[in-house]
Chain A
Amino acid sequence: MLVSVGSLSLMGLALGSMLGAASRYLAVEENPLEAEIQAMLPGSQCGQCGYVGCAQAAAALAKGEAQVTLCPPGGKATAEALAAKLGIKVDLSGVVDSGPQIADVTEEICIGCSRCLKVCPTDAIIGAAKQVHNVIREACTGCSSCVNVCPTEALSLMPIPVTLQHWVWPQPASSAA
Chain B
Amino acid sequence: MGFLDRFFKEPSWGVHPDDHKRPAADAPLRILPTPERVYMPLSQHVGGAARPIVVVGQKVLKGQLLADAQGNISAPIHAPVSGTVFSIGEVTAPHASGLPFRAITIESDGQDRWIDTELVADPFALAPEDIARKAAAAGVVGLGGATFPSAVKFALGKRLKVETLIVNGGECEPYLSSDDRIMRDFADQVVDGVRLVMHAIGAKEALVGIEDNKPEAIAAMRKAAASFSEVKICPVPTRYPMGSDKQLIQTLTGKEVPSNARAAEVGVLVHNVSTCAAVHKAVRLGQPLVERIVTLNGGAIATPGNIYAPLGTLVTDLLAFVGLKGEPARLILGGPMMGTPLAHDRIPLVKGASGILAFNAAEAATPEAGPCIRCGTCADACPMGLLPMEMAAHIRVEDFEGAEGYALGDCISCGCCAYVCPSHIPLVQYFSYAKGELMAAERVKLRTDATKRLAEARSARIEREKQEKAEAAARRKAEKDAAAAAKAAAAKAPAKDSGQAQGETV
> Hey, which bits of chain A sit against chain B, CB under 8 A?
42-45, 77, 100, 121-124, 138-141, 162-164, 166-172, 174-177
In the complex, which residue of chain A has the Cβ closest to the Cβ of B95? A164
* Pairwise interchain contact A172-B436, C-beta atoms closer than 8 A: no
Tell me the chain B residues, 101-147 only, with Cβ under 8 Å from chain A: 101
Q: With A and B bound together, what is the CA distance between A164 and B101 in angstroms?
A: 8
A139-B450, A139-B454, A166-B440 known; 7 new pairs, CB 8 Å cut-off, are: A122-B455, A124-B454, A139-B451, A172-B369, A175-B396, A176-B371, A177-B396
Name B405-457 residues within 8 Å CB distance of A.
Answer: 423, 425-427, 429-430, 432-433, 436-437, 439-440, 443-444, 447-448, 450-452, 454-455, 457
Q: CB of B482 within 8 A of chain A?
A: no
Whole-angstrom CA separation of A42 from B99 in the bound complex: 29
B458 beta carbon closer than 8 Å to chain A? yes
Closest-CB distance, A120 to chain B (whole angstroms): 8
Please state if B455 and A45 are interface contacts (CB–CB under 8 Å): yes
Pair A43/B437 contact, Cβ less than 8 Å: no
Smallest distance from the beta carbon of B48 to chain A beta carbons, Å?
11
| B160 interface hit (Cβ, 8 Å) | no
User: Per-residue 0/1 for B361-386: is the Cβ within 8 Å of any A Cβ (1 yes, 0 no)?
Assistant: 00000001111100000000000000
**Interfacial chain A residues near B429, Cβ < 8 Å:** 169, 172
Across the interface, which residues of A come within 8 angstroms of B457, CB to CB?
Answer: 123
Expressed in whole angstroms, the minimum distance between the Cβ of B20 and any Cβ of chain A is 25
Chain A min CB distance to B32 (Å) = 27
Contact of B432 with A169 in the complex, beta carbons under 8 Å = yes
Chain B residue with Cβ nearest A41: B448
Residues of B near A168 (CB, < 8 A) are 433, 436-437, 439-440
Complex Cα distance A150/B432, Å?
A: 42
Distance in angstroms from A129 CB to nearest chain B CB is 18
Inter-chain residue pair count (beta carbon < 8 A): 85
Residue positions of B touching A, CB distance < 8 A? 93, 95-97, 99, 101, 368-372, 389, 392-393, 395-396, 423, 425-427, 429-430, 432-433, 436-437, 439-440, 443-444, 447-448, 450-452, 454-455, 457-459
Query: Are the C-beta atoms of A122 and B436 separated by less than 8 Å?
Result: no
Kindly identify which residue among A42, A100, A122, A162 contacts B458, using a CB–CB cutoff of 8 Å.
A122
CB distance from B433 to the nearest CB of A (A): 5
Q: Residue on B with the closest CB to A168?
A: B436
Select one of A42, A140, A162, A164 contacting B448, CB under 8 A: A42
A-B pairs, top 10 by smallest CB distance, nearest first, are: A168-B436, A43-B452, A169-B432, A122-B454, A177-B392, A167-B97, A177-B396, A174-B369, A169-B433, A172-B426
Decide if B97 touches A164 in the complex (CB within 8 Å). Answer: yes
Contact of A172 among B433, B443, B444, B450 (CB under 8 A): B433
A72 to chain B, nearest CB (A): 15
Give A60 Cβ to nearest chain B Cβ, in Å: 19
A140 to B, closest residue via Cβ: B451
